[in-house]
């Protein structure tokens, strides 16, 4: 499905997003921004639990798939389930195509996924996710 035709199941008008999210959360989730490296609250977290979308609450990742990539953002080798996220080609940086990861429920920007970086994980994928896009629910 193309970007133009995707309709997220969970939608809010822009003014409601602005009421619900702080400035940085809004910038990242709704404007495809990025938090600064090594500043997010979950970068080095090892607490067991489930990570949900900070915008809509959909469960996206678990601590079982989280790993230390030392890249400055929380990293996961897989989402909770493939239907929880969606992928878009991101050509915003000339000469450096990337794959954007969004919440499938509210279409909030989460981060990017990278392949073939050589991490010792079952998928050889690194979901590089902004801490402000997610919320940890401890077990």
Question: Catalytic positions, please?
Answer: 128
Strand partners, 36: none
Compute the distance between CA of residue 100 and CA of residue 91 in angstroms, rounded to an integer: 9
With beta carbons less than 8 A apart as the criterion, state whether 119 and 69 touch. yes
Compute the distance between CA of residue 131 and CA of residue 53 in angstroms, rounded to an integer: 10
| Backbone φ, ψ for residue 111 (5° rounding) | 160, -140
Compute the distance between CA of residue 80 and CA of residue 47 in angstroms, rounded to an integer: 16
Report CA 115 to chain centroid distance, whole Å.
Answer: 15
């Amino acid at each position: 499905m193309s970007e133009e035709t995707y309709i997220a199941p969970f939608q809010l008008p822009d003014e409601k997003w602005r009421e619900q999210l702080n400035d940085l959360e809004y910038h990242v989730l709704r404007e495809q921004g990025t938090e600064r490296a090594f500043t997010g609250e979950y970068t080095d977290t090892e607490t067991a639990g489930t990570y949900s979308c900070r915008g809509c609450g959909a469960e996206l990742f678990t601590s079982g798939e989280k790993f230390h990539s030392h890249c400055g953002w929380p990293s996961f080798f897989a989402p909770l389930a493939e239907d929880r996220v969606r992928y878009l080609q991101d050509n915003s940086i000339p000469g450096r195509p990337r794959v954007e990861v969004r919440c499938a429920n509210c279409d909030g920007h989460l981060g990017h996924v990278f392949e073939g970086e050589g991490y010792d994980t079952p998928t050889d994928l690194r979901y590089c996710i902004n801490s402000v896009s997610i919320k940890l629910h401890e077990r």
